Amino acid sequence: MAPVNVKKICCIGAGYVGGPTCAVIALKCPQIQVTIVDLNQSRIDAWNSPDFSLPIYEPGLVEVVKQARGRNLFFSTDVDKAINESDLIFVSVNTPTKKTGVGAGFGADLHYVESATRRIAAVATSSKIVVEKSTVPCRTAESMRTILESNCRPGCHFDILSNPEFLAEGTAINDLFKPDRVLIGSLQTPEGKNASAALAGVYGNWVPKERVLTVGLWSSELSKLAANAMLAQRISSINALSAICEATGANIDEVSHAVGFDSRIGPKFLKASVGFGGSCFQKDILNLVYLSESLHLPEVAAYWRQVVDMNEYQKSRFSRSVVETLFNTITGKHIAVLGFAFKADTGDTRETAAVTLIRNFLAERAYVTVYDPKVEVSQMWQDLTEACPDWTLEQLQKYVTIVHDPIEACKDKEAVVIATEWKEFLEIDWQTVYNHMSKPAFVFDGRLLVDAEKLRKIGFKVKVIGRGERV
């Protein structure tokens, strides 16, 4: 059986994953036509905008889209047409944590995956390879297969593959150009292996063969949850140690450095912070917790649950330390929060620690001024209104101000809180910031970003996460 020669690819979901991933496929495979579709008209309009004001910010993304758009890369809301024309379809829709019903707060909301799958079955007039790109619970491919087989037209055959995405926001293009690995899961049948070979052939246009791993479907689905759980676990482990550092006078940077020198551990992902955010870590761990509970493995569920609990603890511990340091009250005080995105080099705010910090400061009735170089102002208001359901927008706007300049954000404030590790915060003229702040002027570094000694020489009182120095 010769592998299918993939000529046309469709990607359902033009978000943070579908957009960059399939734009890179189009760039690297000029012989393949790639159409990225979404139901969200304004998102597609932004992908198609003449001035390349793309709906997501990602370093290097504009250059990729500039080269491929209109050549073999297209963005459209015509989902049915794209499905019908393609040999291979990526399903890259959102899989957020369920908000209500069975598994609320833990399980993945799979209704976007299901409706995309049903759409494929309803409109496809020829056989397709359907690829799970979304992060899904183990054995979702089985449900997709049942839906496709029960609803498809006679003569249509579907092969389901799992091909989870491991890119990290902020470095997505580099991650896609040079992935550590590409994982492809398939049924171990001749048809499954044949479909797997077809997708491997697409990646083979730029990814070295030894980096394309082919495994069973369920291993592939579980590997994605496992990878995110283990990455987040490292952050929670180092954050747990940062609390011990603060209590003992040890320095978390020195501890991480020493620990990371062990070649079995390695230095990456050992940076203490105010907590991890983003659309994936928490969601995927909670998904793993839910899966473990459903499989009657309560000890396994409790183990992974603790990674998320530690992350919540870190955010509230940091907020509490701001209050305690500012003489046990921040009521009526003015605090600048630098950074709103969940990490640097992205405009994504999903599960960002900044929102939790601001909500905690508002609970104390502090006034907060926020600055972020990439997050849209409307997105900040949306996130804050969702995070503070007891506040009207009018009340929020009395206490929160959003500005477009970091120096202005810090002017006349009692304290500056660094919530995102944007490089530009390193380059701020801290002397000017100091001159215009109320005294004593405090800096709380939740990202181990600034040179605390330099700031202390200027006159700041600096509190850095994971360091036991007295301010």
Q: At what angle do helices 140-151 and 111-123 cross, to 10 degrees?
A: 30
CB of 355 to ligand NAD, least distance (A): 17
Residues 320-339 that bind ligand NAD (CB under 6 A): none
Q: Which of 4, 9, 27, 93 binds ligand NAD (CB under 6 A)?
A: 93
Question: In 3-state terms, what secondary structure has residue 106?
Answer: coil
Does 123 help bind ligand NAD (rule: CB under 6 A)? no
Does 383 help bind ligand NAD (rule: CB under 6 A)? no
Helix (H) or strand (E) holding 458: helix 452-458
Paired tokens of 421: 């590790």
Q: Between 37 and 255, whose beta carbon lies closer to ligand NAD?
A: 37
Selection from 459, 465, 403 nearest residue 436 by Cα: 459
Q: Between 284 and 414, whose beta carbon lies closer to ligand NAD?
A: 284
Q: Between 123 and 403, whose beta carbon lies closer to ligand NAD?
A: 123
Supply the residues annotated as catalytic.
280
The whole-angstrom separation of Cα 186 and Cα 379 is 39
The whole-angstrom separation of Cα 304 and Cα 302 is 6
Q: Which of 86, 134, 214, 349 binds ligand NAD (CB under 6 A)?
A: 134
Q: Between 14 and 368, whose beta carbon lies closer to ligand NAD?
A: 14
Does 86 help bind ligand NAD (rule: CB under 6 A)? no
Does 97 help bind ligand NAD (rule: CB under 6 A)? no
Q: Which of 6, 9, 10, 14 binds ligand NAD (CB under 6 A)?
A: 14
Q: Nearest-CB residue to ligand NAD?
A: 15
The whole-angstrom separation of Cα 131 and Cα 430 is 50
Q: Partners of 303 in the beta sheet?
A: none
CB of 128 to ligand NAD, least distance (A): 15
Note whether 5 and 88 are within 8 A (CB).
no
Q: At what angle do helices 217-248 and 140-151 cross, to 10 degrees?
A: 150
Measured CA angle at 172 (ends 224, 118), to 5 deg? 55
Paired tokens of 188: 């171990």
Does 115 help bind ligand NAD (rule: CB under 6 A)? yes
Selection from 320, 341, 318, 325 nearest residue 465 by Cα: 318
> For ligand NAD, which stretch binds (CB under 6 A), given 24-32, 112-120, 252-260, 362-370?
112-120
CB of 29 to ligand NAD, least distance (A): 20
Name the site residues for ligand NAD (rule: CB under 6 A). 12-18, 37-40, 43, 79, 92-95, 112, 115-116, 134-135, 165, 167, 169, 279-280
